[in-house]
């Protein structure tokens, strides 16, 4: 039985002029029992509101919420067996770490000895055993967030809602706590719903990733599926860094096969751009699109540099000009001007100098095609 089922949930706020702010619009989502699901989207897209609806801190304007098979839409928050962790921990400043962690047990009148045992055990999971007597002001940012996590976990909740708990931490600490969350999730067997605006964190943590934009759910899938088969242009652009490369062109069929015909690059005398052969699967998917303009999406690692064809999925090189070079050590990132668009290419090969005209090969086997108007993937 899923831990959480949301059906068509909506929330409308009123702005200063009484205008409707549709924070959550008809969201349906199911979180499996024991799953770690990340919810990701840009700031203001409704992530916090959705968590608050699940926790019962905000009444919904429409839709139904099921928790462990029970209709929870009208159940008050304290009876939902949900723990929450926020971005800034929100610890009680006058209490020690131990008292902060023990607080939810105290509220529920858990016997003192049992409470102490659980506080010690939870603190040990989070590496806090040596700072239990300190107050929040005497803890580092990372330790404070660990105390907030311990306070949420001390009750052994079935469902943990995390609202950007790592975003106030610096990068190394964020990476460390990210790994710790994965470990804790594995240990506890609880359901985690983890909210972040950081696609990297969402991909790294989530068993599945739910992508949200402007109050609506765009796609829910395993991280690799979201990366390789984005449902629309928003997901394609939002997931992945450096971002996906996009190019408009025409689908063209003839006796030889089906092709993506690049538009001629701007500028006088530019040679005719090549037509790139599509795979058999793409040919089937795009059989009704002969002569139709589409958007091609190709990840930065699916492009290789000349002189010879390295990418066996490609049969014609495309002319490009090197406009930027970033040497990172493990790879080099090239910014290319290609058929009138700016592309980013990741490579481990020798790269041509800045300003050089060159040729690249596009491996279309991993390509995704999108409707020019709706942005929906054509598959």
> Shortest gap between Cβ of 54 and ligand ADP (angstroms)?
12
C-alpha 146, offset from chain centre: 23
Burial label for 93, CB within 10 Å (0-12, 13-18, 19+), is: exposed
Q: Residue 124 binds what, of Mg ion, ligand ADP, none (CB under 5 to 8 Å, by partner type)?
A: none
Q: CB–CB of 209/348 below 8 Å?
A: no
What is the Cα–Cα distance from 328 to 153, expressed in whole angstroms?
39
Residue 49 interacts with, from Mg ion, ligand ADP, none (CB under 5-8 Å by kind): ligand ADP
Distance CA 196, CA 174 (A): 12
| DSSP classification of residue 183 | H
Minimum CB–partner distance for residue 196 and Mg ion (Å) = 9
- Per DSSP bridges, beta strands 36-40 and 191-196 are parallel
Q: Which does 46 bind (CB under 5 to 8 A by kind): Mg ion, ligand ADP, none?
A: ligand ADP
**Residue 82 or 344 having the CB closest to Mg ion:** 82
Please name the residue that has the structure tokens 């800045």: 354
Beta bridge partners of 250: 261, 293
For residue 103, which of 87, 117, 85, 119 has the smallest C-alpha distance?
119
By a kind-dependent CB cut-off of 5 to 8 A, residue 23 interacts, out of Mg ion, ligand ADP, none, with ligand ADP
* Terminal C-alpha separation, the chain: 31
- 191 makes contact, choosing from ligand ADP, Mg ion, none, with CB < 5 to 8 Å by partner type, with none
Least CB distance to ligand ADP at residue 39 (A): 9
Closer by beta carbon to ligand ADP, 119 or else 210? 210
d(CA 214, CA 220): 15
Distance CA 359, CA 306 (A): 5
Q: Could you tell me the smallest distance in angstroms from the CB atom of residue 30 to ligand ADP?
A: 20
* Beta carbons of 285 and 325 less than 8 angstroms apart: no
CB of 13 to ligand ADP, least distance (A): 3
Closer CB to ligand ADP, 47 or 174, in the complex: 47
Residue 56 contact, options Mg ion, ligand ADP, none, Cβ 5-8 Å cut-off depending on partner type: none
The entry of Mg ion, ligand ADP, none that residue 43 binds, CB within 5 to 8 Å by partner kind: ligand ADP
Least CB distance to ligand ADP at residue 51 (A): 8
CB of 356 to Mg ion, least distance (A): 45
- Least separation in angstroms between residue 43's CB and ligand ADP is 4
Give 44 or 243: the residue with its C-beta nearer to ligand ADP: 44
Query: In residues, how long is the chain?
Result: 379
Closer to ligand ADP by CB, 27 or 139: give it: 27
Q: Residue 212 or 262: which CB sits closer to Mg ion?
A: 212
Q: How far is CA 238 from CA 41, 210, 225, 231, 245, in A?
A: 8, 12, 14, 12, 12
Nearer to ligand ADP, 21 or 107 (CB): 21
Catalog residues that contact ligand ADP under the rule CB under 6 A: 13, 21, 23, 41, 43-49
Q: Which parts of 21-50 interact with Mg ion (CB under 5 A)?
A: 48
CB of 47 to Mg ion, least distance (A): 5
- Output 48 or 199, the one with its CB closest to Mg ion: 48
In the bound state, the residue with its beta carbon closest to Mg ion is 48
- The smaller minimum CB distance to Mg ion, of residues 4 and 50, is found at 50
Give the span between the Cα atoms of 201 and 298, in whole angstroms.
22
CA 300 vs CA 114, 155, 183, 245: distances in Å:
54, 45, 31, 7
Residues engaged in binding Mg ion (CB under 5 A): 48
């Amino acid at each position: 039985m899923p831990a959480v089922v949301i059906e068509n949930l909506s929330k409308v706020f009123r702005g200063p002029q009484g205008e409707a702010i549709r924070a959550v619009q008809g969201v349906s989502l199911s979180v499996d029992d024991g799953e770690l699901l990340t919810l990701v989207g840009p700031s203001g897209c409704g992530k916090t509101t959705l968590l608050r609806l699940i926790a019962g801190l905000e009444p919904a304007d429409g839709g139904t919420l099921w928790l462990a098979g029970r209709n929870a839409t009208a159940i008050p928050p304290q009876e939902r067996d949900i723990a929450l962790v926020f971005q800034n921990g929100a610890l009680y400043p006058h209490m020690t770490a131990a008292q902060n962690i023990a607080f939810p047990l105290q509220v529920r009148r858990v016997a003192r000895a049992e409470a102490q045992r659980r506080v010690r055990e939870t603190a040990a999971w989070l590496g806090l055993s040596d700072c239990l007597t300190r107050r929040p002001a005497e803890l580092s940012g990372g330790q404070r967030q660990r105390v907030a996590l311990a306070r949420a976990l001390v009750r052994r909740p079935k469902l943990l809602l995390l609202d950007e708990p790592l975003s106030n931490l610096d990068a190394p600490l964020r990476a460390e706590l990210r790994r710790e969350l994965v470990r804790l999730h594995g240990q506890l067997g609880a359901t985690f719903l983890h909210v972040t605006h950081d696609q990297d964190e969402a991909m790294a943590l989530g068993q599945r990733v739910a992508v949200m934009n402007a109050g609506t759910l765009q796609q829910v899938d395993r991280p690799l599926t979201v990366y390789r088969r984005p449902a629309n242009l928003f997901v394609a652009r939002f997931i992945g860094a450096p971002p996906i490369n996009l190019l408009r062109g025409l689908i063209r069929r003839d006796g030889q096969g089906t092709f993506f015909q690049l538009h001629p690059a701007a500028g006088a005398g530019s040679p005719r751009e090549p037509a790139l052969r599509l795979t058999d699967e793409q040919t089937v998917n795009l059989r009704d699109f002969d002569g139709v303009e589409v958007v091609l999406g190709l990840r930065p690692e699916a492009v290789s540099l000349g002189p010879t064809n390295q990418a066996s999925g490609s049969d014609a090189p495309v002319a490009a000009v090197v406009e930027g070079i970033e040497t990172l050590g493990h790879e080099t990132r090239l910014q290319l001007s290609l058929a009138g668009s700016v592309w980013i290419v990741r490579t481990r090969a020798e790269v041509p100098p800045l300003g050089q005209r060159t040729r690249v090969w596009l491996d279309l086997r991993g390509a995704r095609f999108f409707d020019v108007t709706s942005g929906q993937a054509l598959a």
